[in-house]
């Protein structure tokens, strides 16, 4: 397979002891889905790409703006190189409940909005306003506590937070979990636009097969902490994905 468009490479990711390592690439502008029965390794794979857990002998490297590939071994280095992660549980590991919408949006990207160590609040607010329009975020004011927002709008703020880091790779852990239909559809529209217009590579772990069928270019199936199959868009059907999740060649009716 050609290396054209490859933005991230990963080698020898072991998701559980004794399991076959996972290696491969991500391409700019593609949306990759991750599917499997709950607890079969897809989340461990996503976390490994994000730099949260890595086994000895494994490598993950991302293409830099200079065109070379740089290794990273933790999530801080991953973010510096443009690989960002959206957690599954926004309340426990995503939002800062007592802080404002603006602070929740801006804390990780403060260096981008600072000059000589002084935060440019005007620039930060302008950036939030731009993403507010892009994602249709609703809040009473930028100074309102994020906990006063609906779950869907909290999730949009977290997505805006990642976008402020100017990512090249976005790793999204069940991003539409617990949101309403309108928010879900807005996310789908945003994901497609980010891939198509910005060339961002997105990896989406989803508990909804319909979601993967709708927005992903490929889906990687995980079973027993191994990647057992990669299904391309043209062959992606509900029955094919379900069969692969259960280790079957076809659905038994």
pLDDT in tens, 164-209: 999 999 999 999 988 899 999 999 999 999 999 999 999 999 999 9
Assess whether 158 and 181 both reside in one domain.
no
Assess whether 192 and 76 both reside in one domain.
yes
Residue 189 lies in a domain: yes
Assess whether 76 and 172 both reside in one domain.
yes
Per-residue model confidence as pLDDT tens digits over 131-153: 999 999 999 999 999 999 999 99
Residue 59 lies in a domain: yes
Per-residue model confidence as pLDDT tens digits over 30-70: 999 999 999 999 999 999 999 997 777 899 999 988 889 99
Average pLDDT score over residue span 210-234: 96
The whole domain housing 189 covers 1-82+167-253
What mean pLDDT is reported for the chain?
A: 91
Assess whether 153 and 172 both reside in one domain.
no
Residues 247-253: contacts with CB under 8 Å, at least 24 apart: 247/223
- Burial (CB count <10 Å: 0-12, 13-18, 19+), residue 52: middle
Residue 87 lies in a domain: no
Assess whether 161 and 180 both reside in one domain.
no
Assess whether 161 and 186 both reside in one domain.
no
Type and span of the H or E element at 93: helix 90-93
Assess whether 225 and 146 both reside in one domain.
no
CB count in 10 Å sphere of residue 184: 18
pTM, 2 dp: 0.92
Indicate the residue among 165, 187, 210 that finishes a domain: 165
Assess whether 5 and 65 both reside in one domain.
yes
Assess whether 143 and 125 both reside in one domain.
yes
Indicate the residue among 147, 165, 183 that finishes a domain: 165
Assess whether 205 and 150 both reside in one domain.
no
CATH of the domain at 23: 3.40.50.300
Indicate the residue among 149, 165, 181 that finishes a domain: 165
Residue 88 lies in a domain: no
CB-based contacts of 54, cutoff 8 Å, min separation 6: 13, 48, 60, 73
- Euclidean distance between CA atoms 207 and 134, whole angstroms: 25
The total number of structural domains in the chain stands at: 2
Q: In this structure, what DSSP letter does residue 145 have? A: B
């Amino acid at each position: 397979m050609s290396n054209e468009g490859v933005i991230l490479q990963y080698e020898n990711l072991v998701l559980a002891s004794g399991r076959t390592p996972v290696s491969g690439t991500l391409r700019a502008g593609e949306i990759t889905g991750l599917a499997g029965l709950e607890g079969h390794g897809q989340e461990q794979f996503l976390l490994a790409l994000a730099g949260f857990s890595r086994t000895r002998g494994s490598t993950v490297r991302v293409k830099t703006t200079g065109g070379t590939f740089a290794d990273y071994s933790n999530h801080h280095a991953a973010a510096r190189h443009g690989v960002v992660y959206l957690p599954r549980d926004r309340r426990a590991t995503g939002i800062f409940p007592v802080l404002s919408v603006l602070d929740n949006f801006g804390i990780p990207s403060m260096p981008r909005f600072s000059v000589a160590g002084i935060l440019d609040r005007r620039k930060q607010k302008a950036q939030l306003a731009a993403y507010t329009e892009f994602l249709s975020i609703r809040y009473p004011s930028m100074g309102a506590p994020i906990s006063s927002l609906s779950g869907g709008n909290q999730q949009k703020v977290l997505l805006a937070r990642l976008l402020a880091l100017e990512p090249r790779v976005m790793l999204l852990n069940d991003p539409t979990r617990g949101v309403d239909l309108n928010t879900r559809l807005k996310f789908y529209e945003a994901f497609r636009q980010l891939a198509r217009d910005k060339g961002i590579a997105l990896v989406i772990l989803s508990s909804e097969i319909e979601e993967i069928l709708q927005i992903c270019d490929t889906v990687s199936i995980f079973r027993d902490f191994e990647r057992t199959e990669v299904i391309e868009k043209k062959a992606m059907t509900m029955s094919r994905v379900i069969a692969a999740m259960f280790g079957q060649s076809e659905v038994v009716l």
